Amino acid sequence: MNFVAPAGFDQYRENIPRGVIKTVEYNSTTVGNLRKALVYTPPEYSSEGTYPVLYLLHGIGGDETEWYNHGGPQIILDNLYADNLLEPMIVVLPNGRAMPNDRAEGDLFDPEKIAAFERFESDLIDDLIPYIDSNYPTNCDRENRAIAGLSMGGGQSLNIGLHNMNSFAWVGAFSAAPNTKTPEQLVPDPEEVSALLRLLWLSCGDQDNLLHISVGVHDYLQQQGMAHIWYEESGGHDWSVWRNDLYLFSQRLFK
């Protein structure tokens, strides 16, 4: 596969079937309130089907609407479906800051807010995934669940995905942030994790100040002989990189 998305991949195309994106609310036992997430269902979605699910996480400056507001994931995904390049899947855009006020406001680096990104592991595993699996026609085994995200959400995807291999077989980190655990913490048992993973994707822009985080994980995986994709692309810590990553990563899922 070519590692650069074709021109127009993120541009709205007329006269193609469209998915639907909407906001849901679920009860979080972890946080103790109702929490919002966006859910994209693909073109030709039917409640009679069974769908795999991608959980797609935002960065430190965002919330559940960040991908929608800046990445236009529904445009990228609709275009991929029109070109027959994507497995039908549900895409969930959660809020990864698991605390009562989960808006991206005030000091984003406040230790309480950073801790909330860690707490999201329980919110996702105990609250959001069960909500999605009981309200959508999902195929709810690990082989049909993926987690990926950008920056803070990339760190979360590695931390949570590799720590919950009974829940995920597909893991992707776009420009992972310093919340990423050390490679040794992420993968204490390379053989066991390798046997369970269907895809481990790491990508980062070559101008990104956080590049060393991804490189550190990549180097370790390589030393351990673990299959993974490492993609250093041209760009910084920005949306052109993450749109490109979504385009490339999503095509590899559930095939």
Instruction: Please report how close the Cβ of residue 204 comes to ligand FER at its closest, in angstroms.
Output: 12
d(CA 53, CA 38): 13
Q: Taking a C-beta distance cutoff of 8 angstroms, is the pair 52, 255 a contact?
A: no
Considering the complex, state which of residue 66 and residue 123 has its C-beta at the smaller distance from ligand FER.
Answer: 66
Q: Which of residues 177-196 bind ligand FER (CB under 6 A)?
A: 177-179
Site string for ligand FER, 76-115 (x = CB under 6 A): --------------------------------------x-
Q: Which of residues 58-77 bind ligand FER (CB under 6 A)?
A: 59-61
Angle of helix 152-161 versus helix 111-122 axis, rounded to 10? 40
Instruction: Please report how close the Cβ of residue 58 comes to ligand FER at its closest, in angstroms.
Output: 8
Nearest residue to 50 (alpha-carbon basis) of 148, 140, 128, 125: 140
Considering the complex, state which of residue 133 and residue 238 has its C-beta at the smaller distance from ligand FER.
Answer: 238
d(CA 154, CA 179): 9
Q: Taking a C-beta distance cutoff of 8 angstroms, is the pair 56, 93 a contact?
A: yes
Beta bridge partners of 33: 28
Q: Does residue 152 interact with ligand FER by CB under 6 A?
A: yes
Instruction: Please report how close the Cβ of residue 180 comes to ligand FER at its closest, in angstroms.
Output: 9
Which residues in this chain contact ligand FER in the complex, by CB under 6 A? 59-61, 114, 151-152, 177-179
